[in-house]
């Protein structure tokens, strides 16, 4: 598939790269990593990365992804190739003009919920989209500089749970090794990701003191506005599900926080044992087998979700 993607890229003089909204390390790493690779290998081409840096400027990701993003008007999509990264669903894509390109390529590692694009490269067993972009560059023998290697390794590190998730394979380490050869600095990346202020540590302490646990299931529903009390950005506070999975007795966890902007509860699911994504799909969400998410509107639904996890925990594997 990587050869077909390269042929499409070679065909166009203008390439516009999209990723999902509220980006994580993998979305940003694959987008900016690919942009940098295309710029150094095809300097004659126009390459744009679409997005809003304000969506992550209050998170540690700002310490790594300092490149600027472009706003491209409708006319610039004429005679262009659009590449959409790390986005399983159209509704999650940042930049609604993506469909205006002459052709659209989708590159993703989620179990796809929605087909779109003229060419789709989806590998749901890959640790990250960055793993796929690294393989694309390596297999096609493209130049990869230190900057692009740092971007891609960041996405692999973050989306693999620092190489701890079940999606990690020998291929993950193969690409990590390749990126290290190209100058990526893992210690620098991890230090940047760990750069948190005292308020972030305090809100973690609050959650650890107030989470609930029973029958291999842990859960926590963040009170509305609590992140403001601790002076922590909502997007950062909404990603603290990992705290609920940090105990050996826990096999399943659900974490919910209220998204005031969209007036919905945003929930994250995690599992150490069995696939959890089908439960997320019941609520219109999705994701990986062991890490998924969804939204719901009525807070009274949360106890029902916890009960469903209890049932799963009691079922034989």
Mean pLDDT of the chain: 92
Chain position carrying tokens 């070679």: 10
Confidence of residue 286 (pLDDT cuts 50, 70, 90): confident
3-state secondary structure the chain: CHHHHHHHHHHCCEEEEEEECCCCHHHHHHHHHHHHHHHHHCCCCEEEEECCHHHCCCCHHHHCCCCCCECCCHHHHCCCEEEEECCCCHHHECCCCHHHCCEEEEEECCCCCCCCCCEEEECCCCCCHHHHHHHHHHHCCCCCCHHHHHHHHHHHHHHCCCCCCCCCCHHHHHHHHHHHHCCCCHHHHHHHHCCCCHHHHHHHHHHHHHCEEECCEEEEECCCCHHHHCCCCHHHHCCHHHHHHCCCCCCEEEEEEEECCCCEEEEEEEECCCCCHHHHHHCCCEECCCEEEEEECCCCHHHHHHHHHHHHHHCCC
- Whether the per-residue pLDDT at 295 is higher than 70: the answer is yes
**How far is 195 from 187, CA to CA, in rounded Å?**
12
- Whether the per-residue pLDDT at 129 is higher than 90: the answer is yes
- Whether the per-residue pLDDT at 220 is higher than 90: the answer is yes
Q: For 9-68, how does the pLDDT look when each residue is reduced to its tens digit (9 = 90+)?
A: 999 999 999 999 889 999 999 999 999 999 999 999 999 999 988 778 777 888 899 777
Mean pLDDT of 239-257: 93
Q: For 162-196, how does the pLDDT look when each residue is reduced to its tens digit (9 = 90+)?
A: 998 888 999 999 999 999 999 999 999 999 988 87
CA 72 to chain centroid: 23
């Amino acid at each position: 598939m990587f050869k077909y993607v390269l042929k499409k890229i070679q065909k166009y003089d203008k390439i516009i790269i999209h990723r999902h909204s509220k980006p994580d390390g993998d979305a940003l790493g694959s987008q900016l990593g690919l942009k940098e690779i295309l710029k150094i290998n095809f300097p004659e081409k126009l390459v744009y990365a679409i997005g809003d840096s304000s969506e992550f400027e209050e998170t540690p990701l700002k310490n790594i992804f300092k490149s600027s993003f472009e706003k491209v008007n409708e006319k610039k999509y004429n005679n262009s190739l659009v590449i959409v990264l790390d986005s399983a669903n159209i509704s999650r894509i940042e930049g609604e003009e993506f469909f205006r390109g002459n052709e659209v390529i989708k590159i993703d590692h989620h179990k796809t919920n929605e087909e779109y694009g003229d060419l789709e490269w989806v590998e749901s067993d890959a640790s990250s989209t960055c793993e796929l972009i690294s393989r694309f560059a390596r297999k096609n023998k493209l130049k990869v500089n230190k900057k692009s290697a740092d971007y891609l390794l960041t996405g692999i590190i973050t989306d693999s749970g620092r190489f701890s998730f079940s999606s990690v394979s020998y291929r993950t380490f193969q690409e990590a090794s390749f990126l290290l050869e190209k100058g990526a600095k893992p210690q620098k990346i991890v230090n940047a990701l760990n750069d948190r202020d005292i308020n972030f540590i305090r809100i973690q302490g609050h959650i650890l003191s107030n989470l609930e646990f029973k029958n291999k299931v842990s859960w926590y529903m963040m009170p509305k506005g609590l992140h403001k009390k601790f002076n922590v950005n909502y997007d950062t506070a909404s990603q603290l599900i990992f705290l609920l999975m940090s105990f050996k007795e826990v096999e399943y966890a659900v974490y919910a926080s209220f998204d005031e902007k969209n007036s919905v509860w945003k929930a994250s699911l995690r599992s150490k044992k069995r696939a959890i994504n089908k439960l997320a799909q019941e609520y219109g969400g999705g994701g990986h087998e062991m890490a998924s998410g969804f939204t719901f509107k009525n807070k009274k639904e949360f106890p029902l979700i916890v009960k469903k996890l209890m049932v799963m925990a009691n079922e034989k594997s």
